Chain A
Amino acid sequence: MTAQTTLQQAMPHQAPPHQAPPHQAMIDEWYPVGLVSQLDRSGRHTALMGEPIVVSGDDAGNPLVTGGNGRILPVKVRYGHVWSSLGTPTKDIFSIPEADQPGRRFVDVGVVRVRCSPLRAVENFLDIAHFPFVHTDVLGAEPHTEVQNYTAEIRADVDEVWATQVKFYQPQASKSASGGITTEYMYRVPAPTCSVLYKTCPPRPSEWDVITLFVQPLAEDLCDVWPWMALFDDETSMTDLIHFQQMIFLQDRSILENQIPRLLPLDPGMEIPTRADLTSIAYRRWLKRHDYTYGAQLVAR
């Protein structure tokens, strides 16, 4: 999928500078800005947190990311994507050990532009209760709507949000699944706009399939979403794998573009969570703790 919207159209709601909250914590993070496989000399004209950037590759395939005034931005290549930052990252990009495991297929799903907060896009990815209603007959189906108890926590040692023992009944859990199964999941949030999902792998019960959501914040209420997968699946064609994941995400987009407010409310009171939302509660708490508030709404603002 290619981005249709121009950047002028894309960023209508930027706060004037005097209102801009300090987003230093998020400015110093790494973000996905393009696919390595699509690097070219003419470059991808895009944006990062309101600043126009250009992502290009030289003849040798080395990526180059330049900011609004032509300054060279930090760059890294990881998980099929080019990553950059407007600030000075103090940490490396989070690690996904499974990405180095032999036998996995890596799937660059491409980009989906969504008119929503980057944080809302991640929160939706962490949610299973919507499966029967949004991904009907694929990832969920009535009457199997119950969300059983699971564990969600902020892990102090790694400073990441983790949800484990998440189980859900799925009519067709993946492209390679035939018939309904109860799928088990683990969710992980290692960076404010990135999430890694570990999911039952039908062909190899001892392993987990890895599906990630890398979100590029274009503005506080606009993002490019880059799903990426590392799967044990030798059967399904690459095209089918990509289409399956794109279909799922387009269904999510129809939700994300119609949530009010568009920014993620971090203070309690605006929205009502239940036990099924423990991951979302931990994610919001973790964002607030780290001042990861680009794309968030605070009462104080």
Chain B
Amino acid sequence: MRSDTTGFWTPVALSADLPAGTVIPARMAAGTIALWRSQTGHIAASADRCPHRGMSLSHGFVRGEVLSCIYHGWSYGRAGNCLRIPAHPGLTPPDAIRVVTHDVRDTGGIVWVASGIPAGDPPDLDGFTPLRSLTADADRAALALAAGAQADEDGRLVTNIAGQDLCLLLADQPEGRTLIHVLVRSGSDAAARIAASRSVERLRRMAESASHKGGVQ
């Protein structure tokens, strides 16, 4: 595990799971954020709390290049600044009204969100393509044990199951859960992709039953 003083990247979603014009909640170890993609394809990540009356911003909506809160429609740009308060159409919102934002990258088919200021770029996923995401009710250690391989500093775990190379990106979630993004070798055919999906389901079950037997709650 890393120390708290350095920034790091968390793989929060597959790029394909965040179409243009949508917002979704994304769980980070420290809590939920609002992850959204503008109509022209730009990704942004902000705190999941509207500063007006505390409504969760991941319940909001995206129009054009702005994220709007579903409660009173206040809208925010990618940099987190409030652009419009519908109750006062003539008012230019003061600069002090803003949401906290996170640095975000869309690379290798994965959306990465920064905690703090990471020293470098998100890790390279050379030769692997994202397949799907799933959540395990088990922590990183239990998954490593089940996979027979350790995750590196970036949460990247490369293993071989039944002759097939798999890359798993592990992201810690609240309450000891782990979000797993499954990547297969680029160019894998349909049969290989189905096999990979099943292997990871099995791996998840192993890790979950091991951690529940251990009584570690």
Contact = CB atoms under 8 A, between A and B. Distances in A.
A258 to B, nearest CB: 4
A273 B59 CA distance: 20
A255 B69 CA distance: 11
Given A134-B70, A255-B55, A274-B85, 20 more contacts: A133-B73, A133-B86, A134-B71, A145-B73, A145-B87, A147-B87, A255-B70, A255-B71, A258-B59, A259-B56, A260-B49, A260-B54, A260-B56, A271-B53, A272-B52, A272-B97, A275-B87, A275-B88, A276-B72, A276-B88
Interface string B41-80: 0000000110111111001000000000111110000000
Nearest to B72: A129
A142 interface: yes
A249 B2 CA distance: 46
Nearest to B31: A260
Q: How large is the interface on A (under 10, 10 to 19, 20 to 34, 35 or more residues)?
A: 20 to 34
B187 interface: no
Interface in A247-268: 254-255, 258-261, 265
A187 to B, nearest CB: 16
A142 B88 CA distance: 13
B55 A145 contact: no
Interface of B: 48-49, 51-56, 59, 69-73, 85-89, 91, 97
Interface in A146-205: 146-147
A132 interface: yes
A130 interface: yes
Nearest to A255: B71
Interface of A: 127, 129-130, 132-134, 142, 145-147, 254-255, 258-261, 265, 270-277
A116 B70 CA distance: 17
A258 B71 CA distance: 10
B71 A130 contact: yes
Contacts of A276: 72, 87-88
The 8 closest A-B pairs by CB, nearest first: A145-B86, A276-B87, A147-B87, A129-B87, A258-B56, A259-B54, A129-B72, A260-B49
Contacts of B48: 260
B88 A259 contact: no
A173 B130 CA distance: 49
A147 B88 CA distance: 7
Nearest to B91: A274
Nearest to B93: A274
Nearest to B56: A258
A130 B51 CA distance: 15
Contact of B73 (A132, A261, A274): A132
A274 B88 contact: yes
Nearest to A263: B54
Contacts of B86: 129, 132-133, 142, 145-146
A261 B49 CA distance: 9
Contacts of B97: 272
B60 to A, nearest CB: 9
A273 B50 CA distance: 12
Chain A CB within 10 Å — which of B51, B53, B89 has the most? B53
A80 B69 CA distance: 37
Contacts of B51: 271-272
A133 B54 contact: no
B87 to A, nearest CB: 4
A130 B55 CA distance: 12
Contacts of B73: 132-133, 142, 145
21 contacts: A127-B72, A129-B72, A129-B86, A130-B72, A132-B73, A133-B72, A145-B89, A146-B87, A146-B88, A147-B88, A255-B71, A259-B53, A260-B49, A271-B51, A271-B52, A271-B53, A272-B52, A272-B97, A274-B85, A274-B88, A275-B88
Contacts of A273: 52
Nearest to A265: B54
Nearest to B88: A274
Nearest to B70: A133
